[in-house]
Amino acid sequence: MPSVRSYPLASPRRAPPPSVRGNIHSMGSREQNGVWTGGRLVAVAVGLLLAGLTSCGRQQAQQEMPAPPPPSVTVTEVVQQTIPVYLDYVGITAAVRTVDIRPRVEGFLQKRAFTEGADVQEGELLFVIDPSPFQAALEQTQAQLARDEAALAAAQAQLAKDKAALAFAREQVERYRSLAAQEFVTREAFDTYRTQADQAAAAVAADNAAIDQATAAIKADRAAITQARLNLSYCTIRAPLSGRIGRALVDVGNLVGPAENTVLASIVQLDPIYVYFSVSSRDLPQLVKHQQQAALPATLVLADQSTHPPQGKVDFLNNTLDAATATLKVRAVIPNPDKTLLPGQYARIRLLLAQKSGALLVPAQAVGEDQGGQYVLVVGQGDKVEKRSIVAGATYQSLRIVESGLKAAERVIIEGLQKVQAGSVVQPKLVSPSGGDTPPATAAPAAQEASR
């Protein structure tokens, strides 16, 4: 009987733990009969080890990553300097003189001698009215004067003749008076000579009256000639002042005259020019105080915020306040040599009151405002941001006057405000208040008034 060779039975392999089994199942490596091979088990273990090492490395890298740098902001130092203090008001310009050109005689408009809207000089020819009727009237009065002067000469000659006759008649009367008394001549002869003397005296009186009448007529003629010459001169209309003339309101060929109350054109004097504005009763005491000491300097600020270069002065304060608005009407006179200012133009009038020394200034964009009031962001020691409450006052150029809350040379943020908050650490870049890189200590102060 052949020998039978026996073999040991193979023991079944132990299944991996559930956690590993789950991972293996997700990888699709389970054997159909639930038995794991040694090679695949090792591969799974190595994969799990590598995954753990990768996760730990990532966490360590994240822990070792550097923090971001502080935000960069632009700062400027608080400037302290002497500045002028002024009052600002809204005013309206008005011409110093406005003249309507009207005809003084009636006639047909013959000529217009100016360019509409041009500047004219005093005495410059503007219009001509037909002078023919007025020239004829002048010549007529001159002829009448000549007639009356001739009549005066004739009356004077007649007076001389009658005076001689009167003298002879009186001599005859005296001669015949004594002869009649001695009865050398008749009484009738004496009476005849006396009558002749009386007639001669009457003739002399008439001659004197004729002379007076002729003299009066001559005076009237001369007055008429003067009027005729004036009327003739009124035919030539000239500019009564230097200024800017408007458009012609009447065309050539129309009948014009004083009876029609015709306005031919208008001229306004532009240099200097008035600015009228109203001062509140609150500002009135200090305005009156300074005006009593000296005329207040006045500067005009135009709509584009530029200043009109020539400085003027306050020249008039009304004597009564407007009860409805509690304001006083005030006037300033401003030189206008280039005639850029026109009547009816709105502008801001600036009155210089005094010089304020030691004023603290910051750029206007540095000042914020919230429910707690006005504030600035100050960069202090260690470049740490502090929110500082302040009281900001007037405007000076593009700067604000700080009444309280800051000191000179402190740094305030003007750009990058949205990047930071109180307590933040920043990287400050120092610039001048005007925005350049020059530190404020070397920046030239500007000469512009501060508005109160």
Q: Which two tokens stand for residue 414?
A: 């003007």
Residue 66 counted as domain residue: no
Q: Give the pLDDT confidence of 45-69 residue by residue, as tens digits.
A: 656 655 655 555 555 555 566 778 8
Q: Which domain holds residue 255?
A: 97-130+236-268
Same domain, 224 and 305: no
Residue 5 counted as domain residue: no
Same domain, 257 and 197: no
Same domain, 261 and 275: no
Same domain, 280 and 247: no
Same domain, 289 and 355: yes
pLDDT at 333: 96
pLDDT at 43: 60
Q: Which long-range contacts (CB under 8 A, 24 or more apart) does 30-39 make?
A: none
Q: Which two tokens stand for residue 431?
A: 């610039």
Q: Give the pLDDT confidence of 384-418 residue by residue, as tens digits.
A: 999 999 999 877 778 999 999 999 999 999 999 99
Q: Give the pLDDT confidence of 153-177 residue by residue, as tens digits.
A: 998 898 888 888 888 878 777 777 7
pLDDT at 50: 58
Residue 322 counted as domain residue: yes
State the Cα–Cα distance between residues 56 and 59, nearest whole angstrom: 5
Last residue of a domain, one of 221, 251, 268: 268
Report whether pLDDT(241) > 90.
yes
**Adjacent-strand bridge partners of 412:** 76, 378
Same domain, 260 and 275: no
Same domain, 360 and 416: yes
The number of distinct structural domains making up the chain is: 4
Residue 11 counted as domain residue: no
Residue 72 counted as domain residue: no
Same domain, 171 and 296: no
pLDDT at 236: 97
Residue 310 counted as domain residue: yes
Q: Residue 278 contacts by C-beta under 8 Å, 6 or more apart in sequence?
A: 89, 322, 325, 327, 328, 329, 330
Same domain, 223 and 247: no
State the Cα–Cα distance between residues 140 and 160, nearest whole angstrom: 31
pLDDT at 52: 58
Same domain, 357 and 284: yes
> What is the rounded end-to-end Cα distance, in angstroms, of the chain?
134
Q: With bands split at pLDDT 50, 70 and 90, how would you rate the model's confidence at 293?
A: confident
Pick 134 or 32 by higher pLDDT. 134
Check: CB of residue 352 under 8 Å from CB of residue 334.
Answer: no
Least confident of 219-228, 267-276, 384-393, 395-404: 395-404
Domain harbouring 347, CATH code: 2.40.30.170
pTM for the full predicted model: 0.61
Same domain, 253 and 107: yes
Same domain, 177 and 301: no
Q: Give the pLDDT confidence of 339-383 residue by residue, as tens digits.
A: 999 999 998 999 988 888 899 999 999 999 999 899 999 999 999
Domain harbouring 248, CATH code: 2.40.50.100
Report whether pLDDT(18) > 80.
no
Q: Which two tokens stand for residue 85?
A: 């203090």
